[in-house]
Amino acid sequence: MNRRNALQRLGQLGALSAAAGTAMPFRALAQADKPVTIVVPYAPGGTTDMLGRLIAQQLGTALGRTVIVDNRPGAGTAIGASQVARAAPDGSTLLVATSTTLAINPWLYKKLSYDPAKDFAPVGMIGAVPLMVVVHPSVPAKTLAELVALAKSRPEALSYGSAGNGSPQHLGAEMFKFATSVNMTHVPYKGSALALTDLLGGQLQLMFTDIAPALQHVRTGKLRALAVTSRKRQPTFPDVPTVAESGVAGTADFEAVAWQSVVAPADTPKAAVERFNHEIARIVAQPALRQKLESEGFEPATPGSPGAGTPERLAAYIRSETERWGKVIRASGTTVD
Task: Please give the DSSP secondary-structure letter assigned to residue 102.
Answer: I
Is the Cα torsion angle 107, 306, 75, 164 positive or negative in sign? positive
> Do 69 and 101 sit in the same domain of this protein?
yes
Q: How many domains does the chain have?
A: 2
Please name the amino acid found at residue 277: N
Question: What residues make up the domain containing 117?
Answer: 3-128+259-332
Q: Is 206 helix (H, G, I), strand (E, B) or coil?
A: strand
pTM over 0.75: yes
For helices 287-295 and 10-17, angle between their N-to-C axes, nearest 10 degrees:
170
Residues near 137 by Cβ (< 8 Å), separated by ≥ 6?
221, 222, 223, 224
**DSSP letters spanning 105-169:** HHHH-SS-SS-TTTSEEEEEEEEEEEEEEEE-TTS---SHHHHHHHHHHSTTTSEEEESSTTSHH
Q: What is the pLDDT of residue 26?
A: 46
> Do 78 and 222 sit in the same domain of this protein?
no
Q: Is residue 251 part of a domain?
A: no
> Do 119 and 207 sit in the same domain of this protein?
no
> Do 48 and 109 sit in the same domain of this protein?
yes
Strand partners, 62: none
> Do 147 and 220 sit in the same domain of this protein?
yes
> Do 8 and 120 sit in the same domain of this protein?
yes
- pLDDT tens across 144-158, in order? 999 999 999 998 899
> Do 163 and 199 sit in the same domain of this protein?
yes
**How many Cβ atoms are within 10 Å of 39's Cβ, its own excluded?**
24
Q: Is residue 41 part of a domain?
A: yes
Q: What is the CATH number of the domain that holds 202?
A: 3.40.190.10
> Do 90 and 159 sit in the same domain of this protein?
no
Q: Let me know how long the chain is.
A: 337
Q: What is the CATH number of the domain that holds 290?
A: 3.40.190.150
Q: Is residue 32 part of a domain?
A: yes
Q: Is residue 171 part of a domain?
A: yes
Domain boundary, last residue among 214, 246, 278: 246
Q: Is residue 222 part of a domain?
A: yes
Give the separation between CA 280 and CA 299, rounded to whole angstroms. 15
- pLDDT tens across 230-279, in order? 999 998 899 999 999 998 999 999 999 999 999 999 999 999 999 999 99
Q: What is the pLDDT of residue 19?
A: 42
Q: What is the pLDDT of residue 15?
A: 46
Q: Is residue 281 part of a domain?
A: yes
> Do 136 and 227 sit in the same domain of this protein?
yes
Do the Cβ atoms of 65 and 35 come closer than 8 Å?
A: yes
Q: Is residue 252 part of a domain?
A: no
Residues lower than pLDDT 70 in the chain: 1-32, 337
Comparing CA positions, the residue from 205, 247, 253, 250 lying closest to residue 229 is: 253
Q: What is the pLDDT of residue 5?
A: 52
Q: What is the pLDDT of residue 32?
A: 61
> Do 171 and 206 sit in the same domain of this protein?
yes
Q: What is the pLDDT of residue 7?
A: 47
H helix intervals, the chain:
3-8, 10-17, 47-63, 78-85, 99, 105-108, 144-153, 168-180, 192-200, 211-219, 270-284, 287-295, 311-332
Comparing CA positions, the residue from 73, 83, 88 lying closest to residue 30 is: 88
Q: What is the pLDDT of residue 11?
A: 52
> Do 136 and 173 sit in the same domain of this protein?
yes
Domain boundary, last residue among 220, 246, 272: 246
Q: Is residue 254 part of a domain?
A: no
Do the Cβ atoms of 290 and 299 come closer than 8 Å?
A: no
Do the Cβ atoms of 185 and 217 come closer than 8 Å?
A: no
Q: Is 74 helix (H, G, I), strand (E, B) or coil?
A: coil
Domain boundary, last residue among 216, 246, 276: 246
Q: What is the pLDDT of residue 18?
A: 44
> Do 20 and 119 sit in the same domain of this protein?
yes
